[in-house]
Chain A
Amino acid sequence: EADIYQTPRYLVIGTGKKITLECSQTMGHDKMYWYQQDPGMELHLIHYSYGVNSTEKGDLSSESTVSRIRTEHFPLTLESARPSHTSQYLCASSEFRGTDTQYFGPGTRLTVL
Chain B
Amino acid sequence: AQTVTQSQPEMSVQEAETVTLSCTYDTSESDYYLFWYKQPPSRQMILVIRQEAYKQQNATENRFSVNFQKAAKSFSLKISDSQLGDAAMYFCAYIYRDDKIIFGKGTRLHILP
Contacts and interface: CB of A to CB of B under 8 A. Distances in A.
Q: Do A and B come from one complex?
A: yes
Interface of A: 1-2, 40-43, 45, 48, 50, 58-59, 90, 92, 96-99, 101-107
Contact of B99 (A98, A103, A104): A98
A90 B46 CA distance: 12
Given A99-B95, A101-B47, A41 B106 contact: yes
Interface in B80-113: 89, 91, 95-101, 103-106, 108
A98 B96 contact: yes
Given A99-B33, A101-B50, A105-B44, A45 B100 contact: yes
A96 B97 CA distance: 10
B45 A104 contact: yes
Given A40-B108, A42-B105, A42-B106, A58 B89 contact: no
B35 interface: yes
Interface residues of B, number: 25
Contact of B100 (A1, A58, A103, A105): A58
A50 to B, nearest CB: 8
Contact of A99 (B91, B97, B100, B103): B97
Main secondary structure of the interface of A (DSSP, over half): loop
Contacts of A2: 44, 46
23 contacts: A1-B44, A40-B89, A42-B103, A42-B105, A42-B106, A43-B91, A43-B103, A48-B100, A58-B100, A96-B98, A98-B95, A98-B98, A98-B101, A99-B52, A101-B35, A101-B50, A102-B47, A102-B101, A103-B47, A104-B37, A104-B44, A106-B44, A107-B44
